[in-house]
Amino acid sequence: MIYQPTYESVSRHPVPDWFHDAKLGIFIHWGLYSVPAYAPNSGELSEILASGEWAKWFANNPYAEWYMNSYRIDGSPTQQYHRESYGADFVYKDFVPHFNAAIQAWQPDEWAALFQQVNARYVVLTTKHHDGFLMWPSETPNPHLPGYHASRDLVGELGDAVRAAGLRMAYYYSGGIDWTFNPQVVQHITDLQKAVPQMQTYVDYANAHWRELTDRYGTNTLWNDIAYPKGADLNALFAEYYNKMPDGLVNNRFTQEFRMDEVGIVSDAHFDFETPEYTSFREIREKKWESCRGIGASFGYNQIEGPEQYQSVESLVRSLVDIVSKNGNLLLNIGPMADGTIPEMQRERLLGLGAWLDVNGEAIFDTRPWQVAEGKTGGDIDVRFTQKGDTLYAILLDTPTETTVLLRGLRAGEGADAHLLGHPHPLTWRQGDDGIVIELHRPLTANAAHVFRIDTGQVL
């Protein structure tokens, strides 16, 4: 299909099967903010979305990648940290030589090998965050700050390594905020609209970068953040992209009239998928979505985060299962140190998630939501469902203590087979009045989640 620069045309773009199948991506927040690597431990975004205390959020922003904004808020913990660590005369761009020295040690092949081991299917790298620093030597450099870019082509080098490992590569770009064009300090949610650069020079600058990320680096997604300037012709940008990358995607953060609801940004532009942060839903969503979150409360590396802020492997497994059962993908973030080192606690969580997927990945990858997402066992353990063809997967989000498991409300046809993933032999099952009753050979070892596979032409 050839796309025309109209909303009617680009809105006919289908979500490609690879994205429906992928389920797990790795998000990477890495940049100048990785040098100070600081933010106060003040909670997760979901807590603020529930409370609406936005002024408190920005003054105590736990997102380390927002360092440039946070240290300019008078009285903020980040401002205090910055002055004590670097002095009042040290400005944000002074981090550039420190970052460019640190990245000389980075080995992109090591990252790609880790992501492959975790069983991720795609990777999204931040190429420009709100600080405006470019992670590649762009053909369209920053007109206000000469040399304000990485000294290595981090975008291209990682893309080459990731694709060589068999994963897809996509790129994040902050089109909505760039403090080198508009220095607006964000202290409340209403300041976000004020912070979007609206001048034509910025429209041309951002559009040129998206074209470069497409033509030069083949991004599988236009993963924009916050918003986009009102003067941009988004339908023309999207049509051009789809005509070059038919199996590419556009996310929902290109809004030109900024507003939010209880989930996040509400888009007034075309998009292929939604991108809530630190969020899941209670029901199966008809529209494809992708939940992004850090392993801790920050996306960028925060040196003061510890086990209290980090999700456990068990929590990450259950989050992935829950999201996938409701037509979502999990875009799980890592925040590397300035030199590209992935902190050990982050690496442990990734490898733990990957080990669970080694055994149970068939219930996650290439599946689709079932008729319902949520259920219960007779022992009141939460269950999530996925399906693949005639196979139903019932995923228990805890470990039953008994050797008989009732999957409430399910009915299977005669001749169905039941298996526990990771075990070689089929299980005995029977149809009870309250659901399917499965007999285990022995009590299960504690695990984040256990998967029963029911092979049948009909499960109700």
Query: CA 60 to CA 163: how far, in whole Å?
Result: 38
From 421, 376, 424, select the one nearest 400 (Cα to Cα).
376
- Is 78's pLDDT higher than 70? yes
* Average pLDDT, integer, range 168-191: 96
- Amino acid identity, position 17: D
Q: Given this structure, which CATH class describes domain 368-455?
A: mainly beta
pTM confidence score = 0.96
pLDDT digits (tens, 9 = 90+) for 126-153: 999 999 999 999 999 999 999 999 999 9
Residue 267 pLDDT class (50, 70, 90 cuts): confident
CB 10 within 8 A of CB 46: no
**Six-digit token string for 186:** 């964000």
Q: What is the pLDDT of residue 458?
A: 56
CB atoms within 10 A of CB 227: 25
Phi, psi for 398 (deg, rounded to 5): -170, 180
Residue 52 pLDDT class (50, 70, 90 cuts): confident
Per CATH, domain 7-363 is 3.20.20.80: yes
- Is 265's pLDDT higher than 90? no
From 164, 163, 166, 137, select the one nearest 150 (Cα to Cα).
137
pLDDT digits (tens, 9 = 90+) for 62-76: 999 999 999 999 999
For the chain, residues classed under CATH 3.20.20.80 are: 7-363
Residue 211 pLDDT class (50, 70, 90 cuts): very high
Residue 263 pLDDT class (50, 70, 90 cuts): low
- Amino acid identity, position 255: T
From 189, 369, 177, select the one nearest 262 (Cα to Cα).
189
Residue 264 pLDDT class (50, 70, 90 cuts): low
CB atoms within 10 A of CB 363: 27
With tokens 């910025």, the residue in question is: 202
Q: What is the pLDDT of residue 191?
A: 93
* Average pLDDT, integer, range 177-205: 96
Residue 43 pLDDT class (50, 70, 90 cuts): confident
CB 331 within 8 A of CB 290: yes
Strand order in the sheet with 435-439: 404-408, 435-439, 428-432
Q: What is the pLDDT of residue 459?
A: 57
pLDDT digits (tens, 9 = 90+) for 216-253: 999 999 999 999 999 999 999 999 999 999 999 999 99
Q: What is the pLDDT of residue 257?
A: 86
For the chain, residues classed under CATH 2.60.40.1180 are: 368-455
Residue 49 pLDDT class (50, 70, 90 cuts): low
pLDDT digits (tens, 9 = 90+) for 293-324: 999 999 999 999 999 999 999 999 999 999 99
Query: CA 196 to CA 181: how far, in whole Å?
Result: 9
The percentage of residues in the chain with a pLDDT greater than 70, rounded to a whole number, is 97
3-state secondary structure (DSSP) of residue 265:
strand
- For 388-455, the DSSP string reads ETTEEEEEESS--SSSEEEEET--B-TT-EEEETT-SS-BEEEEETTEEEEE-SSPPPP-S-EEEEEE
With tokens 């029977």, the residue in question is: 430
- Is 258's pLDDT higher than 90? no
- Is 392's pLDDT higher than 70? yes
Q: What is the pLDDT of residue 460?
A: 55
List of residues 6+ apart from 55 with CB closer than 8 A: 187, 188
CB atoms within 10 A of CB 79: 16
Q: What is the pLDDT of residue 85?
A: 98
